[in-house]
Structure 1
């Protein structure tokens, strides 16, 4: 992947549109991105990552707002990146989500994130997609790496790798898991752990099932189960308590078989005793039943003789009952006619009385002494007149409706006329209020528009005041630091001269000692020559090795002190320069007055701008009131005109209908009253006529009923109907008499049958049996049989239950054996994969083992560059031991140590100095970039960025680091260094300068 062109608008610190030509920078191979702290150097890398993946690196991705705070309110954030990936020229345009001002009204609305992905083909840009997910997927597939991997490979963040270098195994593992695809191995560990737990639970459950069945066998038989050591199946490594079976579950089968054999013998003996008891019981029952039958037949014969004697004594009573029943039966044939005569007599009396009452009630409506047929004619005349008046009822109803409608119209007119006057007065006042509020609102809006600039001016003055105050303090600290640095430079130079003098003196002294041993003609032990033309003479005392080492240690300390003081001076100078750019040479006292004046202006504008919302609401309310009043006035006027016309029409119709109804009602108060009166009189006349007719019919029917009753009484043997009525009996009494006769007959027949039965006759001749003795014998036999049957049933049930439980126990043991074997295998595999089994000698989990292999590759790639940058002194070593700070079991194998070639010992990375940590973490970052690129199978990274950290290096180390970075350009790769170190400006001519201003940052390319 090679970057060509980057365009950023309203993004991060860049308020306007900035264009970066990476092709111009890449021609030099190595270029510098430099600027003051906070100018936006890292934001350029954020823009590249955002264009490719829609997110920015590291913790900055959690910040929601990517839009520049310096940009105009309506300016939308946008990043456009042109790049070549795998030979394809792409242009990616992205905009993050942001809040833009509404086009109408106040407030903001959300603009969602957008993307346009294009490819340059056949001389023109061709659109590929505008979907966020499709664009992200295409870029990830072409680059062959995720956003996290890209940020580690192309944007080398030194601060993160210094932390990675010093981190423990747990933190280092989290970083490696994000970069390398170790999820599948973690899932394998989890699957094996779940499998171990599942098989453990299964084996424990099956063992518990067998134990439960054994407990039921013991409960059934009353025997104690053979308990062994409960350690047959390991408990699953979970929080839940394990359910352990017996130590030797198979032994339960033999134990159950032995119990079953013993209980089969008990069952056979109980069955024999039961059969013997049953035979004795049957014999006792037969003897008792025979005796009971004989005693019953003797009792029945004696009862029959007593009943026969009683019937003979009641023969006369039976004859009287028969005669009374016959007379009542003949009277029943006449009784119905007698009742009919009585009913008709009562009906005739009622009809005659009703006719007399109704005739007198209508006497006023008839002529004096009028015959009965006149009543019917008077009824017909009244009904005809009422029918003719029915047609006028609709007119009366309509007249009432007209009165109600006119009353309603009058009420409406009374309500609307004052409302019309009120609305007219309101419309005269509202236009003036609207104009006044509009003028006040315009003034407040002018004040609100000037408030942001006033606030910005006040903030700028306060910022300059703060910068001026800090500038004065920094200048004082800088003078002190420069003086201290000069002293430490002199001390370091003196220590270097002293160490070199001692080393040279020791070398000279050693040469003199060797020269003293030379003899002419004998070979030299150093060069082997037999000639010694200029041997060295001893010049004085030879320094010892300890003195040389002490001088070297003093030199190292002096150089460290010099580097610390140099970094202190450089830091203060950079801070002083930045503060001078912000505050200038103005004194802090002169800026205090400017701050007070700016704050007073802001407070005045804020008080005036605060009225905008209130005035807008008041203006909107007055405008709505004006429009509403106009609409209401038009509606009221239209309604009043319609109501007045409608009332005039209703008055004309009311006069016409009143005249017609006055003529129809006559002397009655209303038409309805006249119709009601005629109907009432017609009903009374009709009722009188009907009553006269009913009275005549009742008299005729009474005479006919009397004649029929007299004829029927004579035919049934009675002299008069009254005599027949006296002989009659109610049905209940007749039924009682017939029941008594029937019982007499039934009793005689039953007695005859019993006395004729030969079985009863023969039983009466035999002696009476001894029933109590036989009953006692039967109860004894029954008790004995019950005890024997209960014992036999218990034995049978126990044997049947044992057979069933033995089948269940056999199946449970058969199911338990493979489950226990499977759990043993799962336990071992899960322990090996998690690093918690004794067979895993390094105590490394599977995922940690894979990541350790990747870390070995990273260390190998990092050492190639670390050797050059450290002068062959330092090398990284990957260790498999568990560090003291690693709390997670199975997380070993991710340790790092630093081998110092000067001492031959390895060191913890935390003991490295600032510069040493920088070169080591840089080498580690470059090595990780190589491994991640190869692991992901991604595109070759043609443009690489290294972010910060160079300020900790001395001149020699900086030279080595620059040589390594210069070597990264092999194959046409461009390397961008992000730093504000002043020395790099002279070393790297191609630069991208980022300048920060009050209105936002800008970029400039210096080639």
Structure 2
């Protein structure tokens, strides 16, 4: 990510400021200084960058203060970014332009305002937006902005602060903190809180696995399983009850059959009596006089049904004939109207013929102008070409005048561009000569070899320290392996003791089990005796009876159920105590067995790991290889001293090379400046060439445009001349031959009017011809239809026509009259013929049936079909009921005979009531036996389920126990409730890596100190070269030296992690503790960062010595009167 421009308005003490990192001098420098008095607002620049990107600042994120305070009546939290709004301002904002790691240009803006932007307004909600300057996309929601920032920058807020902004005092506090605090700080800075979470999670899972294992064992103990004797007893009882139920069921079913037979016999007797009465009643009903009369009426109605239809048809046909005669009479009037319409058409034909003769006479007058009128469109088109061409020629002449003037100006500009190009070329040549001279001087300094030697020596120094560290780790690993062997021996001894305890406890448990089962059996037998025998005897004995046991007279009341239960109480208590003792010893035995299994497995794995551990051999080989890399062929007691001697030799050589490197750095700067000057001269040449090419292009463009316009004018002149010739040829010899060229507008108007008039006369003549033809065709059609009508009705020829008038649709009316006359004449003939035929049929029926006459037929017609159908329905229903009653009576008698054949064996005193009582008794006995058998079956089924369930629970419990043992082993190594154990282990490795990286920077800052971590701890020590490389805690060094240590750690920390970087690194640390050579070394080290990693460094400090060493500065100056600050970039 590259920061381009930062704009600040009314944030903290800064009223307005714009810092352009893409412009000189900031764009060219390796290190720049942000300077100003204390409180002027130097750190506000860093706050502004963070506000724009993350909506938060390091100082607010790290504050320990809590709570809120009043602001215009509102409670605003002390860590709210809104508090950064400058006092006395209504609105403030920061705006940051930057290029993301994804190559996209963005502008981020954070702003806060008071209500209506007034000074006394209430603080409003902040606004945070992000603009994609490449696509124009704008993000306004916090989630959208945060997501896009994460994509563009690649760092979270904490990672950004860690790698880009090294805040005041953070690392000095780190050096002096306790172990837990160091782990927490490293966790916060590196974001590696996962180790704490893993350690706590391991502890949590272990506790959960332990509880799950214990719960599984408890569930197994809660399951009751029958003994084999109990199971066999219940099986026998179930079979006996099932046999008893089957016997009761057979007796009950036999009683049921007898009851059903007796009830059916009684029902059949009642049914026979009822059906016999029904047959007699229905036979009497069909014999009444009324029934017989209705039967005869229905028969006559059906016999005369056809002839009565003939009589009705005769009447209907005679009425139809009368109606047809009336309609034919009405058609004669319509015929007279049609003849009047025909007369009107004849008069209209004569009128149209006269109008056509008049129009044809006018067309004869237009004959001389006919050729011109027919080419009116051609003439109008040519005149349009003439008029538009003349206008285009006038406009183009004016345009050519402007283009020629512009061409003169562009030609002068081209000459100037050529002169500027020559001057830029001379400057480029001089700059290249200066660049070559500076690069030759740099080459003679042999800077590459000097830096290579420095790098090689530093690499050797690191190799020596690595060999020393590996030698220390080897010694520690040997001690650790000896301790591991001793631990295994102690665990084997403890395990043997537990095995012996288990064997001893197994005998005790077995003894307690036998005692518990004996106590349970005694209680069960006594309880069964009380339940069955004693209670049965007690129920059959009274006071005064002889006791069957002692043969004495019973003098007092026998004991109650409660008395009997009280006598069993001691036995029950003894049984429960035995169960508790057994269960406790059994639980202790099971736990001991589980512990032995777990510890045996753990010890096996530990021994296997110990036997397979090759860490000492591997570390020995690692030390040998590291020593060999340092030039030592063997590892012995003198290895450490040899490594130290070589380290001292390197320490003496490095200062000499450092002086040479400083000279090389100066020559490199001169060469870089010469290269930049040469590049600037080349850019100037490129710009001059581009300007000259552009000027030439513009001159050529103007020339081409002039030529194009002149060619178009020439074409238009030719087109106008051709159009004038064409119009003259057409009008030659016509009335318009002389006057068309005087005023083309008037000519076009007169010609157009003449064409319209001529066309109207032609169209009218053609219309009249068509109208006459159509009229004559219509007359012919109507005349034909009138002739057809008169042929059918000759008497109508003498009828006078009505007055002549126009009748719309005359031919249709004539055709309608003709068609209607044909239809009505046909209807009349058919009706008369049908009436005669129906009358003949009636007379034929009466001659065959003398019992009927026309009056009788008329009387029968008075009855409706519905009445006769109802009579027939009732008679048919009566007959069907009589037949059904007879069939039912016959069926009852047959059923009664069959019923007697199936009579069961009955006793003389068997009745329905006595048999139903016996049926109920047997049914109850069957239900009791079935219920008891079902309860026993359920008890056995439940026992099977319990056995299966107990087996599955045992498998599950074993698996859970195995899981718990595994997790407990892991928990013993790295777990605890707070996750501190694993965090310390992991962060100690992170700290060691951090310190090794810091030593590389420390060598550039000072050759006096080397940092190291006491293995297995968080203790940071320094080896002091001025005191014989004696190690001492880093907390004992002075303030300036402490800052150098902190700075090396900060730079190393900024390199850790994500592989993502920001182009500018800001350091807000205490450079005031340094002076002289240490300060110069620190500045030189920071300057090399750009060459090594491409990162520019911004230092925040107010000390004057830094201002002398760092020429490029961002100065923050505060007005003591207004307390506002201004920001200026100087060099």
TM class by shorter chain equals 0.3 to 0.5
TM-score between the two structures when normalised by the length of structure 1: 0.39
Q: Counting helix residues as a fraction of each chain, which structure ranks higher?
A: 2
TM-score between the two structures when normalised by the length of structure 2: 0.35
